[in-house]
Amino acid sequence: MNWINKHLFAHLFLICVYLITFSSRSDAQNIDEELEVYLEFQHRGVVNAVIITYYKEDVFFLPVVELFSLLQLDVSTNGLVVRGNFSTDQTPYTIDFERRSITFGDETFKLTEDDFLLSDLDYFLPPRIYSEVFGLEFSVNFNSLGLTLETNQELPVVARAIREQRRRIDTSFDPDAEFFDLAYDRSASFLSGGFMDYDLSTSINQNTTVYSFNPTFGLEFLSGDVQGSISTNYSDETSTFSTNGLRWQYVIRDSELLSKISVGQTNMDGVLMNAFTGIRISNEPVELRRYFDEFNIQGTTIPESEIELYINNRLVDYSESDDLGNYRFLAPLYYGTTQMAVRIYGPSGQVIEENSRIQIPFSFLPKGELNYSLNAGVLDNPIIGSTERNRAAQANATLGVTNWLTAKLGVDYYDIESSDGLPNVTTSISSRILGSYILNLENVTNGYYRAFLNAVYPNSSSISIDYTDFYGSSRAFNASGESKQLVASVFHPFQFLSIPFNVRASSFLRYQGDNNNASYRFNAGTRLRSINFNIGYSDRIINGYNPFEVTGLSVFDFSTTYTISRNRNIPKAVRGTFVRGQLTFLPNQNALETIQVLVSRNVFTSGRFQFAYGRNFITDFNSLRVNFVIDFKTTRSTSTFNRTRNSYIFNHSFRGSVAYDSNYRNLLFTSRNQVGRSGAAVRLFVDSNGNNKYDEEDEAIPEGKMRLGRSGSSSTIKDGILYYTQLLPYHRYNMEMNKASVINPMLVPDVDQFSMITDPNSFKKIEIPFYMSGVMEGLVLRQLAENSLRGIGGLKLILSSEENEYREELRTFSDGLFYDDELPPGEYELYVDQSQLDILNVYSEPEKINFTVKSIPEGDFVEGLEILLIPNEGEIDSASLAPAFTLADVTDDIKSSPEVLEYSQEIYRNVDEALRLIIKAQNAFYGKNLNQAFAYVSESLELFETAQAYALKGSFYYFEGNTEQAQRHWQMALRFNPDLFIPNMELLEERVNTSSSED
């Protein structure tokens, strides 16, 4: 059995030891001789609680009211009678303990005296009764002290959890989704970090060999970021060297006036988007907009219906129609295409679904938003009509006029002799009309008019029409010299005989004076199980418009794809193989033109092999292509061989990225590009001196993990540092601690939720200190008569902390003691559950206890918490009280005796230190330091002998393999507490062997 299984089982066993150690005889009615046992009850992830049960004659008796309340079953009590309506079927039931009978619907079941137990707080039945009467199959695992439930009944707690889960609004759809507190802001540096992407390749053909090295660099510099690429090529004949995209950028977050300044090589934002070297400034948002606006959805349906709103197949809101059947939602709209569905559940079971689809192009701006950009510099390449690298300037501004209309104005100026000296002015509007239609109108002076219409319908059908009318003499906007241009396409999916089909038709018409040509293409596709089929026809007609006219350029093509299943019954060599076949046919010549076959499959664990073969029957030649890609995590190797006729070419390249973390001086190698992105370097450590920073004496926690608020990142660990890569620069991310990843459950982070803003081309340094969690213990006493107190077991206490968003239910042991560990540092509030006070007809003094768990390396120990339950006036039954030796019997002389005072203080100190040492022993065990754990528990026994310490030491001996010493110490524990639960050695060995077999 590996260490993890030992640790998990030890943790469960130590909990069992501690819980049962404090258990003793209950003074409740009918349970004087029964063993009180605490069971952890979990059911389908929606119920997780510790309940009190009683063990009598090898049978567990389970609490009725508490279990029914946890399962959200209707339950009420009146004396010795429990009644309610069971499950979602609302079957009436009555449990009458006085008459010893249970009525469930029309059936009646008799109870014997041995079938139930009674206490002050609940009524207890064995699992057999729950199964026979209510169909609830409870079972107890004595080894783990766990309680499980199996049932075919639809329990309210499960049904409600399912509804709430379905109807819970996804925060990713909330435009006002909040970030955690910003703990790590943007930290600008003069010089930091450094990423390099590289591409080292060799190309060989029958004539020459060319070597290429193309690195791209990025680093943080002058509070901004610098990046750019270098291209070098070398052969026996030539060598070249050039730079591309070399620029420095400065970013200002959360600024509406100015957000980005770039100096160097970049692209303009005008119609031509020319590459230039110069300066660019803008106020475009640093983080791309996701949310656009809210959309009002309203309608009328059957009154008292349930209505659910789905966006992109996710439930985002829920409502009910009013008495007139009206309903209304405010749905968030996001950039891109939003699929909306309203699902209506009528009161009589009717189901109605209404679908719609709304497009928001990324060119749209919300109402009132204004974005601009200014560019000026020298063109990297001459434009058409010039032979020089001319100076150029460009500016544009975009305004969200309304939520359905966005306007843009742009000016482009080029310093060339062929121009008339006037700039080109671009005006455009983008609008959404009739919900589904996007219309763009654009005009460029001395260039063209353009209109674009696009629509996507709820069933995924779409249409697109793009018309351009060229005018003016500038060849920059019309290099081919056309007068008009029209591009149109239609797509429509449908089903026939339950088989999915889709068809697409597209055309491209160009006019050049009196001449015109039109290209057409028709496609149809379907899918039959794992096989995809597609057939297409294309042609180009010159000076004509008849799509049914067959020309010499017409082509029929047919393709099919198939992925072989990964079923184990299929030979391993072909599992998961992708096969694609394609052929082309020339109808004008009634001849087969080409046939191609592609086979692709994964090899090893991170490789891909492709083989393609083709034959051209018209020109009589073969083609062969072999491609092999393997990802070594630190670099990616790609080899490609192509042969056509008598020529061949072989290419091989290594691609990857190297990142330097200047915080911890680490180099990280990966096969994914990193330039232009960011990362985070996270160190988790135990803060031994409490100074909130990592020192040499502090212990690192290398196994810890964080949850990142956005997808797309990857993580790796090096030298105890947790690295996250592939993050977007200047972006804000939520980070959350994955507490389950830390082996020692007693450790708690100083902060477990926070946000950060990434730094460009570098790693953000994040250090999170951990501290030993706190322990608190106390006592609840019940006043029975004047100067007569007694501990009360099974009482529910509520422990909460607003600071830590912490809430937990505790149960007192039979002598009134309570205990809790793993408490994060912070301010806490402790009080008795009001429903329990009502049952006992008492009030609590004090009403609430406030205490603080301090953040200290060794873990805080809060003790001495006391709560007194005082009966409401006139409720003390003195006749039921047993004579007790009270403080009144202790004389003042005895109390003030120096010997008694000294002895009591010494006992108190020893008990306190002994309990602290037990906690330290547990922590040392969790830290896998068994020798230190032995030392602590032995020191505890020297100070004060307790059942807990003997049982704990026996457990340590057991996991060391010394079963003889383990049994001896467990027997010593039983001498101090005969009620202590010690697992049978045979059962224990069976549990260990089972855990080992599962590894």
Q: Could you tell me the two tokens for 944?
A: 């004060």
SS3 707: strand
Cα separation, 888 vs 890, in Å, equals 5
Q: How far is CA 967 from CA 7, 902, 974, 977, 982, in A?
A: 20, 36, 11, 15, 9
Distance CA 179, CA 710 (A): 12
CB contact at 8 A, 305 and 285: no
CB 321 within 8 A of CB 303: yes
Per-residue pLDDT tens over the stretch 511-564: 887 788 888 899 999 998 889 999 999 998 888 766 667 788 899 999 999 988
Pair 224, 250: CB distance under 8 Å: yes
Burial track 833-846 (b if 16+ CB lie within 10 A, e otherwise): eeebbeebebbbee
User: Which residues make Cβ contacts (< 8 Å) with residue 751, sequence separation at least 6?
Assistant: 183, 737, 768
Of the candidates 675, 676, 699, 679, the one whose C-alpha atom is nearest the C-alpha of residue 687 is 699
| Token output for 418 | 């062929």
Count of CA atoms in the C-beta half-sphere (13 A) of 800 = 9
Q: Radius of gyration of the chain from Cα atoms?
A: 38
Q: Alpha-carbon dihedral of residues 66, 68, 72, 76, nearest 10 degrees? A: -90
User: Cα 356 vs. chain centroid, distance in angstroms?
Assistant: 29
**Pairing, β 351-360 against β 336-345:** antiparallel
Distance CA 262, CA 228 (A): 12
| One-letter identity of residue 991 | R
| Contacts with 964 (C-beta within 8 Å, 6 or more apart), sequence order | none
Listed in sequence order, the residues at least 6 apart from 867 whose beta carbon sits closer than 8 Å to its beta carbon are 778, 779, 780, 781, 797, 830, 832, 844, 845, 846, 849
| Helical H segments across 616-656, by residue range | none
Angle, CA of 673, 677 and 680, to the nearest 5°: 110
Q: What is the C-alpha separation between 300 and 201, in angstroms, rounded? A: 65
Residue 885 has a pLDDT of 41
> For the chain, which ranges sit under pLDDT 50?
1-29, 169-176, 874-890, 895, 987, 990-999
CA dist 964 and 951 (Å) reads 13
What is the β-pairing status of strands 721-727 and 678-686?
A: antiparallel
- Neighbouring residues of 927: CB distance < 8 A, sequence distance ≥ 6: 743, 744
Q: Give Cβ neighbours of residue 911 (< 8 Å, ≥ 6 apart).
A: 944
User: In which element (H, E) is residue 370 found?
Assistant: strand 370-379
3-state secondary structure of 923: helix
What would the pLDDT profile of 916-935 be if each residue is shown by its tens digit? 788 778 777 766 777 888 88
Alpha carbons 261 and 451: distance in angstroms, whole number: 33
Residues in the chain: 999
- Count Cβ atoms below 10 Å from residue 416 Cβ, excluding itself: 19
- Per-residue tokens: 649: 């070419």
Closest by CA position to 276, among listed 412, 393, 384, 418: 393
Where are the strands (E) in 269-365, listed by range? 275-282, 291-300, 306-311, 314-320, 326-334, 336-345, 351-360
Two tokens at 943?
A: 């100070």
Residues 6+ apart with CB under 8 A from 811: 38, 50, 52, 794, 795, 796, 797, 818
d(CA 880, CA 9): 44
pTM as predicted: 0.67
CA atoms within 13 A on the CB side of 72: 13
Question: Which residues partner with 501 through β-bridges?
Answer: 494, 526
- Quote the pLDDT of residue 747: 86
Handedness of CA 949, 908, 935, 697 (dihedral sign): positive
Q: Which residue has the tokens 């029958």?
A: 206
Cα(421)–Cα(300) distance, rounded to whole angstroms?
A: 61
